[in-house]
Structure 1
Amino acid sequence: MNAAAAPKIKLLSHGFSIDHPDPKIGDQLMADALGVADREAMHGMIRQLVKASVSGESPDEVNLSFMMSMVKSIRPRDSVEAMLVAQMVSVHVMAMRCAHQLAQADDLARHDSAARALGRLARTFPAQIEALNRYRSQGEPAIKVQNVSVGDGGKAIVGNVTQHARVIVSDKNPGSAAQDAPKAARARPRRDSAAARREAQA
């Protein structure tokens, strides 16, 4: 659904209303825009965003309009994404408030407090983006390595390999030297016997 087609939210003295001539259609359009499954989830999400939009002591309609627009533009696809996107938008709004407080700080204590809060929020936001991207990509096929075969020359074949891995043992390996020792011992007498026969014939 086009995000621009979603209805707007109007703040009332006792809450909010969805600005649409047909309440049922308005509820459905808003639920689709927020990525939630039903009316209860949609109303709960909007109430939370209304509270996050508070400026001073009361909700701010301009803030709320901005937050709703951002949520719609990111297009959450299910309830998990809807909650995460609402948090992302809220964190951004809070970060900008801290940035405003930092710019207006007239003493060191207020400056340090705003700077610390801004730093934490600024680190949280990219982590939320990463979490959303990771969640959205979970349905993509993963590349699995089933076996690794190391052949002569140190070349590795990665993929569906049916052969067992080959291990090349260095000549400096103590185990290799111990295995080669009997072969050397057996070969040495043959060389000595041949030399002895040549000396006898001479």
Structure 2
Amino acid sequence: MNAIGTEYVNLSEFIAEQMILLSAPRNNVSSKELSFLTEAVQGIAPKDHVEMMLATQMAAVHMLSMTMARGARQGGSLEKVGFYAKQANQFMRTFAVHAEALKRYRTGGKQVVKVRHVHVHEDDQAIVGNVTKGGGGE
């Protein structure tokens, strides 16, 4: 339970059950898929139950996006390829939204943007970054 970011027994059991069901297409649990889901959640290292649920969604969405990408790659009619490619794209965009949401949640939504105006005239040089005076002897 600590590895997936929660101390709530019922919640962790429910999420584990959801991962088992997701890894059981046609009611046959795939140990590889279940391991993937579990290790993906652990790899994201959720710190609390909100992060744990988001990490679980991210793992599921990734698995689904790869399934759709595989469907597109297997070919068939142009209509089928288009359908699978569109679904894969939507899942991949959803994953990116989840990753951004996790980042915002972890940082408290804080963003730091520094804008500095610098004028560089013709034949001048500019340095981008922090400049400090050093004791280089030059």
Same fold (TM over 0.5): yes
Taking structure 1 as the reference length, what is the TM-score of the superposition?
A: 0.52
Per the alignment, do residues 109 and 34 of structure 1 end up closer, same or farther by CA in structure 2, a change over 3 Å counting? Answer: same
Work out whether 1:122 is the aligned partner of 2:92: yes
Taking structure 2 as the reference length, what is the TM-score of the superposition?
A: 0.75
CA displacement, residues 95-129 of structure 1 (integer Å, 9 cap, x when unaligned): 00011111112112211110110110111111100
Alignment of 1:40-55 (within 5 A): 40-55=10-25
State the SS of the aligned residue for 1:132.
Answer: helix
Shift of 1:60: 1.1
Higher relative contact order (CA 8 A, sep 6+): 2
Q: Partners of 2:82 and 2:29 in 1: how far apart? A: 27
RMSD across aligned positions (CA): 1.7
Please point out which of 107, 129, 133 is paired with 1:137.
107
The percentage of counterpart residues that share the same residue type is: 30
Partner of 1:149: none
Partner of 1:61: 31
Work out whether 1:96 is the aligned partner of 2:66: yes
One-letter code aligned to 1:111:
V
Please point out which of 35, 39, 46 is paired with 2:5.
35
State the SS of the aligned residue for 2:47.
Answer: coil
Alignment of 1:1-202 (within 5 A): 31-138=1-108
State the SS of the aligned residue for 1:89.
Answer: helix
Q: Partners of 2:9 and 2:93 in 1: how far apart? A: 33
CA displacement, residues 145-187 of structure 1 (integer Å, 9 cap, x when unaligned): xxxxxxxxxxxxxxxxxxxxxxxxxxxxxxxxxxxxxxxxxxx
Q: Judging by fraction of residues, say which structure has more strand.
A: 1
Runs of 4+ in 1 over 3 A off after TM superposition: none
| Rg comparison, structure with higher value | 1
One-letter code aligned to 2:85:
A
One-letter code aligned to 2:22:
A
Aligned length: 112
